[in-house]
Structure 1
Amino acid sequence: MSAAGAQERAEFAASFLELGPDAPTILPGWDAPDLLEHLLLRESLPHLMVGSALPGPLGRRAGRAR
Protein backbone atom coordinates (compact mmCIF):
# COMPACT_ATOMS: atom_id res chain seq x y z
CA MET A 1 0.00 0.00 0.00
CA SER A 2 1.24 3.46 -0.83
CA ALA A 3 1.92 6.08 1.82
CA ALA A 4 -1.04 8.08 0.51
CA GLY A 5 -3.29 5.03 0.77
CA ALA A 6 -2.17 4.32 4.32
CA GLN A 7 -2.80 7.96 5.26
CA GLU A 8 -6.26 7.85 3.69
CA ARG A 9 -7.10 4.64 5.59
CA ALA A 10 -5.90 6.16 8.88
CA GLU A 11 -8.00 9.29 8.32
CA PHE A 12 -11.08 7.22 7.50
CA ALA A 13 -10.61 5.08 10.62
CA ALA A 14 -10.20 8.19 12.78
CA SER A 15 -13.36 9.73 11.28
CA PHE A 16 -15.33 6.56 11.83
CA LEU A 17 -14.25 6.40 15.47
CA GLU A 18 -14.91 10.09 16.03
CA LEU A 19 -18.33 10.23 14.35
CA GLY A 20 -19.56 6.75 15.30
CA PRO A 21 -21.72 4.19 13.52
CA ASP A 22 -24.70 6.54 13.14
CA ALA A 23 -22.77 9.02 11.02
CA PRO A 24 -24.41 9.82 7.69
CA THR A 25 -22.77 9.03 4.37
CA ILE A 26 -23.23 10.54 0.93
CA LEU A 27 -24.55 7.19 -0.30
CA PRO A 28 -28.37 6.96 -0.17
CA GLY A 29 -29.46 4.07 2.02
CA TRP A 30 -25.96 3.40 3.41
CA ASP A 31 -24.94 4.09 6.98
CA ALA A 32 -21.37 4.22 8.27
CA PRO A 33 -21.19 0.47 9.10
CA ASP A 34 -22.37 -0.38 5.57
CA LEU A 35 -19.62 1.77 4.10
CA LEU A 36 -16.99 0.33 6.44
CA GLU A 37 -18.02 -3.25 5.59
CA HIS A 38 -17.87 -2.49 1.88
CA LEU A 39 -14.40 -0.98 2.10
CA LEU A 40 -13.01 -3.77 4.28
CA LEU A 41 -14.41 -6.48 2.02
CA ARG A 42 -13.23 -4.72 -1.13
CA GLU A 43 -9.72 -4.48 0.26
CA SER A 44 -9.24 -7.83 1.95
CA LEU A 45 -11.98 -10.29 0.88
CA PRO A 46 -13.35 -9.21 -2.52
CA HIS A 47 -14.58 -12.72 -3.33
CA LEU A 48 -17.18 -12.42 -0.56
CA MET A 49 -18.72 -9.39 -2.26
CA VAL A 50 -19.50 -11.40 -5.38
CA GLY A 51 -19.95 -14.76 -3.71
CA SER A 52 -22.93 -13.76 -1.60
CA ALA A 53 -24.87 -12.99 -4.79
CA LEU A 54 -24.46 -16.56 -6.04
CA PRO A 55 -27.33 -19.04 -5.65
CA GLY A 56 -27.05 -22.19 -3.61
CA PRO A 57 -24.46 -23.31 -1.08
CA LEU A 58 -21.68 -21.02 -2.31
CA GLY A 59 -23.84 -17.93 -1.92
CA ARG A 60 -25.02 -18.97 1.54
CA ARG A 61 -21.46 -19.68 2.64
CA ALA A 62 -20.25 -16.30 1.41
CA GLY A 63 -23.21 -14.57 3.09
CA ARG A 64 -22.38 -16.21 6.43
CA ALA A 65 -18.71 -15.26 6.08
CA ARG A 66 -19.63 -11.61 5.56
Structure 2
Amino acid sequence: MENRLASATARKNRVSFDQVNKFAGFDDLRRVKEDDVVAFKQTRLAAGRNPSTVANDIAACGTVCK
Protein backbone atom coordinates (compact mmCIF):
# COMPACT_ATOMS: atom_id res chain seq x y z
CA MET A 1 0.00 0.00 0.00
CA GLU A 2 1.32 3.42 -0.95
CA ASN A 3 1.76 5.98 1.81
CA ARG A 4 0.06 9.26 0.95
CA LEU A 5 0.41 12.59 2.66
CA ALA A 6 -2.62 14.26 4.14
CA SER A 7 -3.86 17.00 1.83
CA ALA A 8 -2.89 19.74 4.32
CA THR A 9 0.65 18.34 4.54
CA ALA A 10 0.89 18.11 0.76
CA ARG A 11 -0.21 21.75 0.41
CA LYS A 12 2.28 22.87 3.06
CA ASN A 13 5.07 20.94 1.36
CA ARG A 14 4.18 22.50 -2.00
CA VAL A 15 4.55 25.98 -0.49
CA SER A 16 7.94 24.97 0.96
CA PHE A 17 9.10 23.54 -2.38
CA ASP A 18 7.99 26.70 -4.16
CA GLN A 19 9.96 28.87 -1.71
CA VAL A 20 13.16 26.86 -2.18
CA ASN A 21 12.73 26.64 -5.96
CA LYS A 22 12.06 30.37 -6.26
CA PHE A 23 15.17 31.13 -4.25
CA ALA A 24 17.36 28.66 -6.16
CA GLY A 25 16.09 29.83 -9.54
CA PHE A 26 14.95 26.47 -10.88
CA ASP A 27 12.07 24.07 -10.32
CA ASP A 28 13.88 20.77 -9.80
CA LEU A 29 14.63 20.03 -6.15
CA ARG A 30 17.18 17.43 -7.24
CA ARG A 31 19.40 20.29 -8.40
CA VAL A 32 19.43 21.99 -4.98
CA LYS A 33 22.83 21.64 -3.33
CA GLU A 34 23.85 22.04 0.29
CA ASP A 35 25.18 25.55 -0.38
CA ASP A 36 21.77 26.52 -1.80
CA VAL A 37 20.04 25.32 1.37
CA VAL A 38 22.45 27.25 3.61
CA ALA A 39 21.97 30.43 1.56
CA PHE A 40 18.19 29.92 1.56
CA LYS A 41 18.20 29.56 5.34
CA GLN A 42 20.37 32.64 5.90
CA THR A 43 18.33 34.77 3.51
CA ARG A 44 14.97 33.76 4.99
CA LEU A 45 16.17 34.35 8.55
CA ALA A 46 17.66 37.73 7.59
CA ALA A 47 14.28 38.66 6.09
CA GLY A 48 12.69 38.09 9.49
CA ARG A 49 11.06 34.71 8.90
CA ASN A 50 10.43 32.63 12.00
CA PRO A 51 13.24 30.08 12.49
CA SER A 52 10.71 27.27 12.87
CA THR A 53 9.11 28.22 9.53
CA VAL A 54 12.49 28.11 7.80
CA ALA A 55 13.32 24.80 9.46
CA ASN A 56 9.97 23.36 8.35
CA ASP A 57 10.59 24.49 4.75
CA ILE A 58 13.98 22.80 4.73
CA ALA A 59 12.69 19.64 6.40
CA ALA A 60 9.79 19.32 3.93
CA CYS A 61 12.18 19.47 0.99
CA GLY A 62 14.60 17.10 2.67
CA THR A 63 11.98 14.39 3.08
CA VAL A 64 11.52 14.07 -0.67
CA CYS A 65 15.17 14.55 -1.62
CA LYS A 66 16.58 11.58 0.28
Q: TM-score, normalised to structure 2's length? A: 0.38
Which of the pair has the greater relative contact order for Cα pairs under 8 Å at 6+ separation?
2
